Chain A
């Protein structure tokens, strides 16, 4: 040790001695570091808008059997978090049965179910892809394809039905499907056995996931975004086509069509879309978690 360093040490030691004397108390070494953390949750925000050239939802009066109707929806993700499932189910709001003299339908608590069975779901598309199983074609509502020998009530307008057989030969040779053979609003409402009509990829069974969900009472729902989820700022087009089934097979003893009982029936029901988040991920680096804005199919 050089003389300079020795002098230096002596000075430091002297200074420390002075400090100790000056403070009058014992003071240890210490050091303080602050690590700031911030946690900001993202937003999960599903929006539902009317699709192009379509009203939002169905609000229709003065319908008759055979009428067809289509509505499209733009499902949007306005939040910052990617949505995994967009789950659709139906909820009945109200039902009314205004009696007139052609309507001998005795209203019961279940009457709305019978009415919902009169509405066949003839198309059910996400981004132009049908979610319906091939099963449907054997159940009376085949896809609209040229040369389809079975004929499709949904397509009949395009084919100019009634083209032969003379005037008034209205119903043609294709029997109308009866409610038990087709996928109806009731089936979607009921949520049982959805896999019969909807491609199983898109069927969401509650019990496979979180267990009880009071929202749907464990009914099966359709997962409209089952393929890739719905990323932040992404849109998904959903289209549903419905036909008021035209049942010309069944008459009562007086010759009145059984469907007459549905005259002046009116039902209000909600399409309920529930958006869910993706499972949590392991985040290594700091910053805005971009990964949470996109689908996590691989996780």
Chain B
């Protein structure tokens, strides 16, 4: 090794020694970049307002007799930040009970009563859903409103039919079909009636195709639902001359309507960041 090379090595060694002293440890080069992300979910919250009593019940009636009718109106409101696609009516019947009757003959008839038979005594004469149509999205004003009657008096549709999802008997079933939804709630089989329709359907009154868009969020308007129930009046008698309906004397049952609000399908939220406004509205991609 000649002198020049020796000098060179000496200097290198010196520099390395200095780095070691300066750094204290061996330090490699690296660089770290950070991108922040945030994901926040919205809320799906159906409110049932106007029409419920202090106990939160729609119907709470005792001492009824055949021929009685009862009508209730309630409003569906979207209280969340996500649009509601459907409001599915699930019906539960429980706590069927029979009061002991003093009259022996009627008590004997009563033994034959069952809860389905009792439910069949209550005809849903009218189920009316109102839908806001033709809203001006920009200022949120309603420019048109239409009423839809999925169930009408001459359908003879009873609480038993609703309980069993027996919608085929409804005369205008073809129209109604657009408002029936398969529920994936295992406890409730069959199709469920959607009280906040969201499909293109033929309006039964005018025959025109109309758009229904569920319950968008933050619109400040509500959808009204009206239901009229009649304790049917059956004049059939048994061999002893008793009206057959006598067996339902002293019967009682709790009927729960579960209104399930569902979300719209997921969407591609696009490339922009921020609050996903699109999730406040009906998802058009899902409208067939």
Q: Which chain A residues in 154-169 approach chain B with CB under 8 Å? A: 157, 161-163, 165-169
1/0 per position for B159-182, CB-CB distance to A under 8 A? 000000000000000000110111
A81 to B194 CA separation, bound complex (whole angstroms): 63
Instruction: From B39, B45, B273, name the one whose CB has the most chain A CB atoms within 10 angstroms.
Output: B39
Task: List residues of A (67-107) whose CB comes within 8 Å of B's CBs.
Answer: 67-71, 73, 79, 81, 83, 91, 93, 100-103
Report the bound CA distance from A170 to B90 in whole Å. Answer: 17
Instruction: Tell me whether A59 and B37 are in contact (CB under 8 A).
Output: yes
- Assess whether A1 is interfacial by the CB under 8 Å rule: no
Smallest CB separation, A284 vs chain B (Å): 13
Among listed B97-105, B121-129, B263-271, interface-contacting one: B263-271
Chain A residues, CB < 8 A from B260: 255
What residues on B are CB-neighbors of A37 within 8 Å? 8, 11-12, 15
B199 contacts which chain A residues (CB < 8 A)? 167
The one of A33, A102, A243, A262 in contact with B80, judged by C-beta atoms closer than 8 angstroms, is A102
Question: Which residue from chain B places its CB closest to the CB of A254 in the assembled complex?
Answer: B258
Residues of A within 8 A of B37 (CB): 57-59, 268-271
> Could you tell me if A63 and B276 are in contact, using CB atoms closer than 8 angstroms?
yes
When A37-B11, A64-B263, A246-B266 are in contact, do A93 and B36 touch as well, CB less than 8 Å? Answer: yes
Count the A-B residue pairs with Cβ separation under 8 angstroms: how many? 220
CB interface residues, A 162-208, toward B, < 8 Å: 162-163, 165-171
| Binding stretch for chain B, among A8-16, A18-26, A40-48, A134-142 | A40-48
Cβ of B180: which chain A residues have Cβ within 8 Å of it?
Answer: 166-168
Known: A66-B263, A269-B37, A274-B30. A61 touches B274 (CB 8 A): yes
Q: Which of B31, B38, B42 has the most CB of A within 10 A?
A: B31
**A289 within 8 A of partner (CB):** no
Residues of the A chain whose Cβ atoms lie less than 8 Å from the Cβ of B258: 255
Docked complex Cα distance between A79 and B30 (Å): 11
**A60 — which chain B residues lie within 8 A by C-beta?**
38-40, 269, 273-276
A274 and B32 within 8 A (CB): yes
Complex CA gap A206/B36 in Å reads 23
Contacts A102-B80, A277-B28 given; indicate if A48 touches B273 (C-beta within 8 A): no
Q: Is the interface of B mostly helix, strand, loop or mixed?
A: mixed
Which residue of the partner chain, among B33, B266, B288, contacts A47 with CB atoms under 8 Å?
A: B33
User: What are 25 A-B pairs at a CB distance below 8 A?
Assistant: A35-B11, A57-B36, A58-B37, A59-B37, A59-B273, A63-B42, A63-B279, A66-B263, A66-B265, A67-B267, A67-B269, A69-B270, A70-B268, A101-B45, A102-B44, A162-B286, A168-B182, A170-B286, A244-B39, A260-B44, A265-B40, A265-B41, A268-B36, A271-B37, A277-B29
- B interface with A by C-beta (< 8 Å): 4, 7-8, 11-12, 15, 28-45, 80-82, 85-86, 90, 177-178, 180-182, 184-187, 194, 199, 258, 260, 262-277, 279-280, 285-286, 288
14 more A-B contacts (CB under 8 A) besides A102-B45, A103-B43? A59-B38, A62-B276, A62-B277, A66-B267, A167-B181, A167-B199, A168-B181, A170-B262, A170-B286, A265-B41, A266-B41, A268-B36, A271-B34, A271-B35
Binding site for B on A (CB under 8 A): 33, 35, 37, 39, 41, 44-48, 53-71, 73, 79, 81, 83, 91, 93, 100-103, 115, 119, 157, 161-163, 165-171, 215, 243-244, 246, 248, 251, 255, 260, 262-277
3 tightest CB-CB pairs across the interface, nearest first? A66-B266, A168-B181, A266-B40
